[in-house]
A = this chain, B = another copy of it.
Amino acid sequence: MTVTAPKGFRASGVAAGLKTSGNADVALVVNDGPDYTAAAVFTGNRVKAAPVLWSQQVLKGGIVRAVILNSGGANACTGTQGFRDTHATAEHTASVLRTTGSKPMMIGAGDVAVCSTGLIGELLPMDKLLPGVNAAAKALAADGGPKAAEAIMTTDTVAKNAVAQRLGWSVGGIAKGAGMLAPALATMLVVITTDASADNETLDTALREATRLTFDRIDADGCMSTNDTVILLASGASNRQPTLEELTAAVTEVCHDLAQQLIGDAEGATKHIAIEVAGAASEADAVQVGRTVANNNLVKTALFGNDPNWGRILAAVGTTSAAFEPDRIDVAINGVWVCKGGAAAEDRSKVDLSGRDVQITVNLREGEMNATIWTTDLSHAYVHENSAYSS
């Protein structure tokens, strides 16, 4: 059910005192091989946290033996000292793994990816983090995935694990975050493991296709974190070499599962909203329209108020550059076609918005392409959580 489901991985999660709550806050995932291939995608934000800048370099090296993760501090906007701290964390992790436990590893700092999440703009308490790394290394276990998932939680209410089982091999994953919605920009950290054998290029292709259709299509408030990281590690311990298509399907399955868990746990949300855009001239048009509707505060507040206000949906569509004619658009909310040809159709009072799940369909009537974006409503709890976080 988690990153230690595939063979060849150990993981752990420990409390190092970074979180004032005393909950676990340092996680470690180790690849015991025999392969150490990897791929990753990082935030598109141009203001990147120190661990992102570091891990981008590590991935270029082509080998990742371990991922060290901390909650309780994002180490973003922390200048050169922040980068030195990330470097020191990787060095320390490598050093400890070379000397700890029954399986000393041949590993250098350049083989250690680093992920951080928490408040932006403050340096990490290294006097707590480095001892935490020691503890995490000692706690490494072949069933340690769930503990790692717990240690990366910030405002998550539940730990997030997923697995895709195949004949003789599998893909597992852990995640934290709330789909760009939680405080401090809801860093999304995801570690995915597989015991399949695959080279870096194959992993990269599979991961990019999977994230394009999953994490890139959840969007809670349009805010992009400085720390988002999705990293895929392959151990080859299954001695199986699936095709690219097989691997992509399994990685996508895990990413989809984790993405839905993220949006389902989005802070302050009372609705789990799927916005399907059909009849688009291109997939890019469908994604643009879906994302624009998903990010519209007036649509999101209306849904919080159980109000099937399709006019706000049309007005949001109108701000895009997608191909459409205003007088051809159809809109359904939970199966009721409240708008046909850009004007009122079925009685909006027929729409039942009392449940948590909301399905919006926008048919642009321009072509055959479609895409679905998942999002949440904009609630009092969102405002409360996000106005009270760092103070």
Residues of A within 8 A of B (CB): 44-48, 74, 76-79, 81-82, 119-122, 183-185, 221-226, 295-298, 301-302, 304-307, 309-312, 314-320, 324, 326-327, 339, 341-344, 378-380, 382-384, 386-391
Do A316 and B383 touch (CB < 8 A)? no
Alpha-carbon separation in the docked complex, A326 to B327 (Å)? 44
Majority SS of interface residues in chain A? loop
Interface contact B184-A311, CB-CB below 8 Å: yes
Which of B46, B315, B339, B342 lies in contact with A185, CB distance below 8 A? B315
A390 pairs with B307, CB closer than 8 A:
yes
Q: How far is the CB of A297 from chain B (nearest CB, A)?
A: 5
User: In the bound complex, do residue B387 and residue A344 qualify as a contact, i.e. CB atoms below 8 Å apart?
Assistant: no
Residue of B whose beta carbon sits closest to that of A303: B387
Indicate if the CB atoms of B387 and A305 lie closer than 8 Å: yes
Interchain CA distance A226-B78 in the complex, whole Å: 43
What's the minimum C-beta distance from A259 to chain B, rounded to whole angstroms?
20
Contacting pair B389 A121 (CB below 8 A): no
Q: Is the Cβ of B223 less than 8 Å from the Cβ of A298?
A: yes
Contact A47-B221, Cβ < 8 Å, known A79-B343, A344-B122: no
Chain B, residue nearest A47 (CB): B318
Contacts A120-B311, A326-B48 given; indicate if A316 touches B79 (C-beta within 8 A): no
**Chain B residues near A224 (CB, 8 Å)?**
315, 318-319
Chain B residues lying within 8 Å of A320, measured Cβ to Cβ, are 46
> A306–B310 Cα gap in the complex (Å)?
34
- The answer to whether A383 touches B383 (Cβ under 8 A) is yes
Which residue of B has the minimal Cβ distance to A120? B311
Contacts of A81 in B (CB 8 A): 343
A78 to B344, CA, bound (A): 7
Chain B minimum-CB-distance residue to A317: B47
Contact A120–B312 (Cβ < 8 Å): yes
What are 18 A-B residue pairs whose CB atoms fall within 8 Å in the complex?
A46-B318, A46-B320, A46-B324, A47-B326, A74-B311, A77-B326, A77-B339, A119-B311, A121-B339, A223-B312, A224-B318, A226-B318, A297-B378, A301-B386, A302-B389, A306-B391, A307-B389, A383-B383
**A120: B residues at CB distance < 8 A:** 309, 311-312, 314-315
Tell me, in angstroms, the Cα distance from A304 to B184 when the chains sit together: 15
Q: Point out the residue from B74, B295, B344, B378 that lies within 8 Å of A121, measured CB to CB.
A: B344
A224–B382 Cα gap in the complex (Å)?
Answer: 22
Could you say which residues of chain B place their CB within 8 Å of the CB of A390? 302, 307, 309
